[in-house]
């Protein structure tokens, strides 16, 4: 039961604390006085839920933080739930148990990612979550008759929650996990589970059929394999016999090429020797005549050099005299007699010295220049002779050097070379060299060529009768048959692997089928327990719902009698997956839609109270009714008070039922036996609560 609710700057309440006892507690006051805020405080503290648009809307205007605290007792234990909210939207929550030594924290906050949830801990202790408790125990203003207007499936879910059938879901899920884990263990062990028996049987038949079809293929492939292996053995033996001849043919061709190459090289050397001797003869012919003139030319050259040197000396002397005369001629031009007087000493003379006479000097200068011209002509003559002798002498020296270079000392040696050259020319013309030339004639070049030819003749005898095309076809035939054999080997390997796989699969499947028959029997029993015991639509749940529906029907009918309506009896029944509500008068069956507003409220209240009867044995024996007397006349309002008073005094357990009534009709509770009445008033400071 709820023992107290405390609000601090929460909605319209600045500081309000309400204490509760067993039985009925009534909140009275006008609209906007803060009565319904107590429901928001209760659901926010316990579950973090409320009817406002946002968490920030819970904080009293003008404040920065608000809180709601609820204390309640279950099974003799005291608990406390507190939630705080600030203006920035920050939340803080703590759920604790009150003990003699103080408070022991159970959970704080909603850090579900870390496995921490205060709401989850409260739900475990109360036994209901917010949605289920709200429908069964907290009736908001104007929602009293929602129980009869809810969809049949929703009513069924509500009923399941009230009587605890939804807890079967936990057991059912656990059973499913057990079944799932068991199947997983079987799959880990066997490779299959009981759901695979039909598939395994089909796989078994398939493997057996494939095995029967594959064995004849294996025999045919083995026979073909043996036949090809024998054919390959015979062909390889022939190839082994003929293969050495291939090498000998290659050697034969190499020897022929070697002989031809040797012949070409020998001829080339002979031709080079002929060409060298021809050049030697050409170079040396006429050299002996030039060499014989060398001594005479050297003597003549020396004489010409001596004469040329004398002429050059003479020209130099004459040139010097001509230069001297020219200087004297210049001086004579200045030495002229004036009045038969000497221009130097002014003495009287008849005539000048011929050495100072200008005409005499000119005559001598002409003579000397003629001598110079004659000497230069002589010099040119000696120079030309000297060049001629030098050229001839160089030719003689070149001829001497050429003879020495060719190692020829006399004309007899040169003649001998000519004779040998003619013989070699005749011999080289006799060699018939070509790619198809007569090897026998080529072998006559020298002894080495003859040895090569003998090897060629021997190899030709050893490869006689060998045909390379036939040998090539023989090898191709081996390759083709080897390819065929490889293909057969692959096919045979695949068939053998398939047979082995089929045999292994057959053994595995047969063993699995035997084991899974036992597993299937066990799983049938588990499924039977799952569907009959733990399913909310099973026989156990159906039986519980039937009992609950009958109990609620009986109690609701009793409450309707006290409320003095024309409805004598209510019958709840389960059809298929829905819960239906049927009302009866003394004479007829009544449709819910045909009832007046007050009668519908009476039915809804009767059902709520009937369900509260069942909740009397649950953890939190509480019902909150917000304006339950709306649409009830005065007589039915009094009947409601009497029913609530009776219900609060009747207990089927150690704890009686606890009611919180929110209403405008304070007068109907004046003479009733309610435990507490709180008056709510709206003031400038907020809601004011006074115990009456």
Q: How many CB atoms lie within 10 A of CB 56?
A: 13
Q: What is the pLDDT of residues 658-672, one digit of tens each?
A: 888 898 887 887 777
- 348, burial (CB in 10 Å: exposed 0-12, middle 13-18, buried 19+): exposed
Q: Which position has the token pair 């003699």? A: 100
Exposed / middle / buried, residue 385 (Cβ in 10 Å: 0-12, 13-18, 19+): middle
| Spatial contact of 4 and 674, defined as CB atoms under 8 Å apart | no
- Residue 405 makes CB contacts below 8 A (sequence gap 6+) with none
Q: Beta partners for 660?
A: 25, 624
Predicted local confidence at residue 653, as pLDDT? 44
The pLDDT > 90 percentage for the chain reads 18
Whose CA is closest to 159, among 123, 130, 132? 132
What's residue 43's pLDDT?
Answer: 92
Q: Is 95 exposed, middle or buried (0-12, 13-18, 19+ CB in 10 A)?
A: buried
**pLDDT for the residue numbered 13:** 95
Cα angle for residues 77, 660, 641 (degrees, 5° grid): 130
Decide if pLDDT at 18 tops 90.
yes
The pLDDT value recorded for residue 633 is 74
Over residues 228-256, the pLDDT tens digits come to: 999 899 988 888 888 888 888 888 888 88
Looking up tokens 């509770």 gives 669
Write the DSSP symbol of residue 348.
Answer: B
**580-628: pLDDT as tens digits:** 888 998 889 988 888 877 777 778 878 877 776 665 545 777 888 888 8
Q: Are 610 and 560 in contact (CB under 8 A)?
A: no
CB crowding 10-20: b at 16 or more within 10 Å, else e: bbbbbebebeb
pLDDT digits 0-9 by tens, 128-142: 788 777 766 777 766
CA torsion through residues 294, 296, 297, 301, sign: positive
Check pLDDT > 80 for residue 353.
no
Find all residues with CB under 8 Å of 152, minimum gap 6, and list them.
578, 579, 580
3-class SS string, 187-210: HHHHCCCHHHHHHHHHHHHHHHHH
On the question of pLDDT at 63 being above 90, the answer is yes
344 CA to centre of own chain: 128
Pair type for strands 578-584 and 91-99: unpaired
> Most distant CA pair in the chain: distance in Å?
211
How high is the pLDDT of residue 286? Answer: 79
Q: By the 8 A CB rule, do 93 and 82 touch? A: yes
Q: Tell me the average pLDDT across 254-279.
A: 82
* SS3 state at 64: coil
Q: Return the structure tokens found at 326.
A: 């020219």
Element (H, E) at 688: strand 686-691
CATH topology of domain 289-399: Helix Hairpins (1.10.287)
Rounded CA-CA distance 246/244 in Å is 5
User: 438: which residues sit within 8 A by CB, 6+ positions away?
Assistant: 432
Alpha carbon distance 643, 580 (integer Å): 25
With pLDDT > 70 as the criterion, what percentage of the chain qualifies? 88
pLDDT at 113 over 80: no
Which of 175-179, 223-227, 378-382, 432-436 is least confident?
A: 432-436
Count the helices and strands in the chain (H runs, E runs): 17, 15
Mean pLDDT over 403-423 rounds to: 83
Instruction: Report the pLDDT value the prediction gives residue 338, as an integer from 0 to 100.
Output: 58
Is pLDDT at 429 greater than 80 in this prediction?
A: no
Is residue 5 very low, low, confident or very high in pLDDT (cuts 50, 70, 90)? very high
As a three-state string, the secondary structure of 10-50 is ECCEEEEEEECCCEEEEEEECCCCCCCHHHHHHHHHHHCCC
Smallest Cα–Cα separation from 651: which of 612, 598, 603?
612
pLDDT at residue 435 greater than cutoff 50 = no
What's the pLDDT score for residue 594?
Answer: 83
CA trace torsion 344, 347, 348, 353 (10° rounding): -40
258 pLDDT band, cuts 50/70/90, is: confident
pLDDT at residue 88 above 60? yes
- Rounded-to-integer distance, Cα 232 and Cα 225, Å: 11
Asked if residue 676 has pLDDT above 80, the reply is: yes
Q: Which tokens is 317 given?
A: 């002397």
Pairwise CA distance, residues 365 & 369, whole Å: 6
pLDDT value of residue 449: 81
- H or E segment and range at residue 4: strand 2-10
Give the pLDDT mean for 486-514.
Answer: 90
The pTM score is 0.47
Average pLDDT over residues 279-304: 82
Geometric angle at alpha carbon 108, from 103 and 111, rounded to 5°: 165
Q: What is the pLDDT of residue 98?
A: 92
Question: What is the mean pLDDT of the segment spanning 209-217?
Answer: 90
Q: Where are the domains of the chain?
A: 221-286+424-467, 289-399
The mean predicted confidence, pLDDT, of the chain is 82
């Amino acid at each position: 039961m709820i023992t107290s609710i405390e609000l601090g700057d929460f909605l319209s309440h600045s500081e309000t604390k309400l204490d509760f006892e067993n039985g009925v507690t009534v909140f009275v006051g006008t609209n906007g006085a803060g009565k319904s805020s107590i429901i928001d405080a209760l659901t926010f503290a316990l579950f973090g839920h409320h009817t406002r648009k946002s968490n920030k809307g819970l904080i009293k205007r003008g404040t920065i933080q608000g809180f709601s605290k609820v204390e309640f007792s279950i099974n003799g234990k005291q608990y406390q739930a507190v939630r705080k909210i600030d203006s920035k939207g920050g939340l803080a929550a703590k759920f604790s148990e009150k003990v003699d030594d103080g408070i022991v924290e159970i959970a704080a906050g909603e850090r579900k990612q870390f496995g921490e949830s205060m709401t989850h801990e409260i739900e475990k202790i109360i036994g209901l979550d917010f949605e289920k408790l709200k429908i069964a125990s907290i009736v908001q203003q104007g929602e009293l008759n929602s129980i009869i207007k809810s969809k049949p499936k929703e009513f069924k879910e509500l009923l399941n929650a009230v009587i605890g059938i939804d807890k079967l879901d936990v057991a059912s899920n656990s059973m499913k996990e057990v079944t799932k884990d068991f199947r997983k263990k079987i799959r880990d062990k066997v490779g299959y589970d009981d759901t695979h028996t039909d598939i395994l049987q089909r796989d078994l038949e398939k493997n057996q059929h494939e095995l029967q079809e594959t064995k004849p293929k294996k025999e045919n492939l083995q026979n073909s394999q043996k036949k090809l292996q024998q054919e390959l053995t015979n062909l390889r033996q022939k190839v082994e016999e003929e293969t050495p001849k291939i090498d000998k043919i290659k050697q034969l061709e190499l020897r022929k090429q070697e002989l031809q190459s040797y012949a070409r090289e020998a001829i080339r050397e002979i031709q080079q020797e002929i060409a060298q001797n021809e050049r030697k003869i050409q170079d040396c012919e006429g050299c002996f005549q030039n060499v014989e003139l060398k001594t005479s030319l050297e003597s003549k050259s020396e004489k010409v050099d001596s004469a040329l040197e004398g002429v050059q000396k003479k020209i130099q002397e004459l040139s010097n005299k001509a230069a001297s005369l020219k200087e004297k001629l210049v001086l004579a031009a200045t030495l002229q007699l004036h009045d038969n007087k000497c221009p130097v000493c002014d003495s009287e003379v008849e005539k000048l010295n011929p050495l100072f006479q200008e005409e005499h000097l000119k005559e001598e200068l002409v003579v000397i220049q003629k001598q110079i011209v004659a000497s230069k002509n002589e010099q040119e003559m000696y120079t030309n002779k000297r060049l001629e002798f030098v050229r001839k002498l160089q030719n003689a020296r070149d001829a001497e050097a050429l003879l020495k270079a060719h190692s020829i000392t006399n004309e007899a040696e040169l003649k001998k070379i000519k004779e040998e050259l003619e013989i070699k020319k005749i011999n080289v013309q006799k060699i018939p060299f070509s790619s198809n030339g007569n090897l026998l004639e080529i072998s006559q070049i020298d002894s080495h060529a003859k040895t090569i030819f003998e090897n060629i003749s021997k190899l030709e005898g050893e490869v006689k009768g060998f045909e390379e095309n036939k040998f090539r076809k023989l090898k191709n035939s081996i390759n083709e048959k080897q390819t065929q054999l490889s293909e057969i080997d692959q096919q045979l390997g695949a068939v053998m692997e398939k047979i082995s796989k089929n045999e292994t699969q057959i053994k595995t499947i047969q063993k699995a089928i035997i084991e899974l028959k036992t597993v299937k029997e066990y799983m049938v029993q588990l499924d039977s327990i799952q569907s009959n015991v733990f399913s909310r639509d099973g026989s156990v749940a159906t039986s519980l719902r039937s009992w609950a529906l009958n109990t609620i029907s009986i109690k609701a009918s009793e409450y309707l009698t006290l409320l003095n309506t024309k409805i004598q009896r209510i019958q709840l029944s389960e059809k298929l997956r829905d819960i239906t509500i049927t009302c009866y008068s003394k004479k007829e069956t009544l449709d819910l839609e045909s009832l007046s507003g007050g009668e519908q409220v009476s039915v809804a209240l009767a059902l709520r109270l009937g369900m509260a009867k069942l909740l009397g044995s649950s953890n939190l024996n509480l019902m909150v009714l917000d304006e339950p007397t709306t649409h009830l006349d005065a007589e039915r309002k009094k009947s409601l008070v009497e029913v609530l008073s009776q219900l609060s005094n009747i207990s089927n357990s150690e704890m009686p039922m606890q009611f919180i009534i929110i209403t405008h009709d304070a007068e109907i509770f004046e003479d009733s036996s309610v435990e507490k009445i709180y008056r709510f008033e709206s003031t400038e400071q907020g809601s004011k609560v006074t115990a009456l």
